[in-house]
């Protein structure tokens, strides 16, 4: 799914079109290329897609009820973008670290694709060195899984399991479903074993390279690789080569009622994103955000809206509403005091949910 391969194939297609006197058919684009085109079209049309993590799988105090969704119950539609988590898949587990069965997850990915919506996947990978989870802050893990490291083969096995799962994400016609994939996210912090403190910039790039090359070589042409630029990084240093990523995203959370800090953080990260957008000519998004338990009144309209209106972002994704932790929710749900505010947010003409994705993102 390298950009230069795309350019080459576009050139071949254009030539074919000239010789056959017909226009290039979008059916010949890879699933990833089609999704990138949709994302770019949405930005050109100045719409922002609303996203929610794990939306139809579970919500505030409920889980696995077919067709249920906290967002649906508040706004009358599913989110345009659904985020999913695969941590634990690489161990051969049948359920994710959040207890979600991967078979059920596949079905919901297919449902979201079928309704015209967009899927994105994050991966809180377990620590291959200690066996603990991804928050196991620990040096030498990345070194141990790179080529020559003692866990390299083990890591390739894990990549293989993840790749096999991605290869199983197919639509009714047997076509691979496009996915925005966000591996090795939030590497600017130190809370994950791939965090900034735990590996050099070069090792991080090698980790990305290994992941990208392995998965691509196994035939995954449905992944839109999303890289998170690092604030303060004066570029090109940690950033993967341009042909190894397709879009850019940031994650930013509001701590308890700390609105000012959140604003400053989002503004500076968006500035960085736009700088990268310009430099690399790739679409951008707010790939994770939220304020746990939504303590700030009218948070969506008064805090989020001023930050995102007029910004050239593809989507904004609010983090999950856990079924088993009553305080751990980032999106509105039926009965919560933020309901009206979230409805107003979604009623803005430029905020779109699942039913409008095709209309605004397909040419």
320 sits near ligand BMA (criterion: CB under 6 A)? yes
Residues 214-253 that bind ligand BMA (CB under 6 A): none
With CB under 6 A as the contact rule, the residue among 97, 146, 259, 301 that binds ligand BMA is 97
Q: What angle do CA 147, 150, 151 make, to 5 degrees?
A: 80
Residue 125 to residues 58, 134, 147, 165, 184, Cα–Cα distance (Å): 21, 5, 18, 14, 9
**Nearest position to ligand BMA, beta carbon:** 85
- Please say which residue, 13 or 97, places its beta carbon nearer to ligand BMA: 97
The residue from 70, 85, 203, 341 that contacts ligand BMA (CB under 6 A) is: 85
Question: What backbone torsions phi and psi does residue 84 show, to the nearest 5 degrees?
Answer: -135, 160
CB of 331 to ligand BMA, least distance (A): 12
Closest separation in Å from C-beta 191 to ligand BMA: 10
Contact letters (x/-) for ligand BMA, 108-147, by CB under 6 A?
----------------x-----------------------
End-to-end CA distance of the chain: 22
Contact pattern from residue 3 through residue 42 relative to ligand BMA, giving x for each residue in contact according to CB under 6 A and a dash for the rest: ----------------------------------------
Number of H helices, E strands in the chain: 11, 11
CB of 96 to ligand BMA, least distance (A): 7
Q: How many residues bind ligand BMA (CB under 6 A)?
A: 6
Nearer to ligand BMA, 100 or 352 (CB): 100
CB of 97 to ligand BMA, least distance (A): 5
Closest to ligand BMA by CB, 135 vs 350, is 135
Helix (H) or strand (E) holding 7: helix 3-20
**Residue 30 or 289 having the CB closest to ligand BMA:** 289
State which residue, 325 or 359, has the beta carbon closest to ligand BMA: 325
Question: From residue 349, how far is each of 94, 274, 325, 329, 345 by CA, in Å?
Answer: 41, 23, 33, 26, 9
Minimum separation from the CB atom of position 326 to ligand BMA (A)? 13
Closer Cβ to ligand BMA, 112 or 321, answer by number: 321
Q: 267: part of which helix (H) or strand (E)?
A: helix 259-280
Q: How far apart are CA 124 and CA 88, in angstroms?
A: 8
Structure tokens at 345: 């947010």
CA distances from 147 to 64, 130, 239 (A): 40, 18, 20
Report the alpha-carbon distance of residue 49 to residue 39 in Å, rounded.
Answer: 10
Q: How far is the CB of 134 from ligand BMA (least distance, A)?
A: 8
Q: What is the DSSP letter of 352?
A: E
Close Cβ partners of 103 (under 8 Å, ≥ 6 residues apart): 94
**What is the DSSP code (8-state) at residue 300?**
I
Closer to ligand BMA by Cβ: residue 192 or 198 = 192
Give the residue with the Cβ less far from ligand BMA, 124 or 355.
124
Closer residue to ligand BMA in complex, CB, 51/283: 51
- Taking phi first (over 0 means left), then psi (-120 to 50 degrees means alpha), and beta for anything else, what does residue 281 get? left
Per DSSP bridges, beta strands 313-318 and 81-85 are unpaired
Q: Which residues bind ligand BMA (CB under 6 A)?
A: 85, 87, 97-98, 124, 320
């Amino acid at each position: 799914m390298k950009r230069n391969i795309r350019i080459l194939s576009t050139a071949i297609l254009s030539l074919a079109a000239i010789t056959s006197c017909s226009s290039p058919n979008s059916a010949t684009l890879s699933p990833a290329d089609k999704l990138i085109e949709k994302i770019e079209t949405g930005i050109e049309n100045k719409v922002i897609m609303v996203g929610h993590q794990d939306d139809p799988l579970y919500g505030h105090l409920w889980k696995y009820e077919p067709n249920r969704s906290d967002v649906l119950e508040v706004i009358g539609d599913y989110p345009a973008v659904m985020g999913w988590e695969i941590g634990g898949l690489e161990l051969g587990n049948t359920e994710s670290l959040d207890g979600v069965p991967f078979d059920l997850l596949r079905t919901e990915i297919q449902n979201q694709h079928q309704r015209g919506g967009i899927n994105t996947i994050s991966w809180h990978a377990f620590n291959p060195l200690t066996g603990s989870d991804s928050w196991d802050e620990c040096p030498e893990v990345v070194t141990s899984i790179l080529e020559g490291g003692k866990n390299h083969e083990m890591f390739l096995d894990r990549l293989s399991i993840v790749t096999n799962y991605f290869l199983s994400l197919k639509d009714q016609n047997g076509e691979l479903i496009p996915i925005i994939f966000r591996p090795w996210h939030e590497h600017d912090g130190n809370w994950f074993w791939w965090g900034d403190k735990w590996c050099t910039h070069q090792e991080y790039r090698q980790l990305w390279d290994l992941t990208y090359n392995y998965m691509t070589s196994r035939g995954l042409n449905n992944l839109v690789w999303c890289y998170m630029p690092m604030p303060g990084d004066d570029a090109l240093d940690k950033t993967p080569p341009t042909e190894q990523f397709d879009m850019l995203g940031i994650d930013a959370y509001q701590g308890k009622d700390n609105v000012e800090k959140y604003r400053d953080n989002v503004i500076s990260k968006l500035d960085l994103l736009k700088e990268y957008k310009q430099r690399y000519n790739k679409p951008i998004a707010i790939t994770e955000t939220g304020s746990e338990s939504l303590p700030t009144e009218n948070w969506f309209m008064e805090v989020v809206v001023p930050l995102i209106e007029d910004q050239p972002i593809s989507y904004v994704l609010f983090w999950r509403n856990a079924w088993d932790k009553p305080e751990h929710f980032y999106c509105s749900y039926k009965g919560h005091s933020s309901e009206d505010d979230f409805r107003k947010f979604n009623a803005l003409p430029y905020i779109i949910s699942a039913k409008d994705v095709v209309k605004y993102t397909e040419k």
